[in-house]
Copies of this chain bind each other. A is one copy, B any other.
Amino acid sequence: MNDQQLHELLQAVRDEKLSVDDAAGQLQRDGFDDLGFARIDTNREERCGFPEVILAEGKTPEQVVAIAGRLEQRSGRCLITRLDDEQRSLVRRTFPSAEVDPLAGTAYLGLVPEMTTGHVLVVTAGTSDLPIAREAETTARVMGAKVDLVADVGVAGIHRLRAIEPYVAEADAVVVVAGMEGALPSVVGGLVPCPVIAVPTSRGYGANLGGVAALLSMINSCVANVAVVNIDAGFCGGYIAALIATRSGQPRT
């Protein structure tokens, strides 16, 4: 409940259009739907600009579709991430019109906004980082950003970075997805004038410690415009990049 809504409610109390009990109830229960196993945040979109997103991992397929149904009903759209096969299958059956991406593990219900404002560039260090990059791409796209994806420009052949040059000038935010030593965000960060969201991946072996080595590398970046999200968190990377891009973006010719 924002400031204006609060004043209106209190005015309604004063004007005796609203009873004291009802007002107290509204002040106390405002903002969520209770499904028993889940408490849906129904004013997330109003507060944060995008409805609650469902992390499928750790939920039963039935819980996933129940929450998705309620969110779509409330907001007209719903994004689900990290779907396993069983969950994805039930989502498809329940919402035949959903846009489902098995590689990225995502499903989207509702209309994708027209891409009129804000550009996001997603870059991967290696071929095996693609699923995480796709999660970022899908997320940013359904949030209304224009997204370009450039794969496999890792630092072992630094000249391959020239592949991102056509996109640098107009990108409002760059998502860099990298495993192993996680060096790419630092190198990209030094080449672009916008924020870089670094997504460490668990790709690699041995002392990569499930992605912790890449995470540490990115957190210690010597470049100032790099911020980091969780290991394999393509969703978060895409989300923040889209927030930045749609905020900055203006239609371009």
Q: Is the CB of B181 within 8 A of A41?
A: no
A63-B152 Cα distance, complex, nearest whole Å: 12
B-chain residues with CB within 8 Å of residue A218 when the two chains form the complex: 181
Total copies of the chain:
8
- The answer, among B82, B216, B233, for a CB contact under 8 Å with A213, is B216
| Mask: chain A, 43-60; 1 = CB below 8 Å from B; 0 = not | 110011100110001110
Q: Is the CB of B128 within 8 A of A58?
A: yes
Q: Is the CB of A57 within 8 A of B205?
A: yes
Q: Is the CB of B11 within 8 A of A20?
A: yes
A180-B223 Cα distance, complex, nearest whole Å: 10
Q: Is the CB of A222 within 8 A of B128?
A: no
Q: Is the CB of A204 within 8 A of B220?
A: yes
- 8 A Cβ contacts from A188-216 to B: 189-195, 197, 200, 202-216
- 8 A Cβ contacts from A49-75 to B: 49, 52-53, 57-59, 63, 67
11 contacts between A and B (CB under 8 A): A6-B27, A157-B190, A158-B158, A158-B191, A181-B216, A183-B183, A202-B206, A206-B215, A206-B230, A225-B239, A228-B228
Binding site for B on A (CB under 8 A): 3, 6-7, 10-11, 13-14, 16, 20-21, 23-24, 27-32, 34, 36-39, 41, 43-44, 47-49, 52-53, 57-59, 63, 67, 82, 125-128, 130, 151-163, 165, 172, 180-183, 186-187, 189-195, 197, 200, 202-233, 235-236, 239-240, 243-244, 247-248
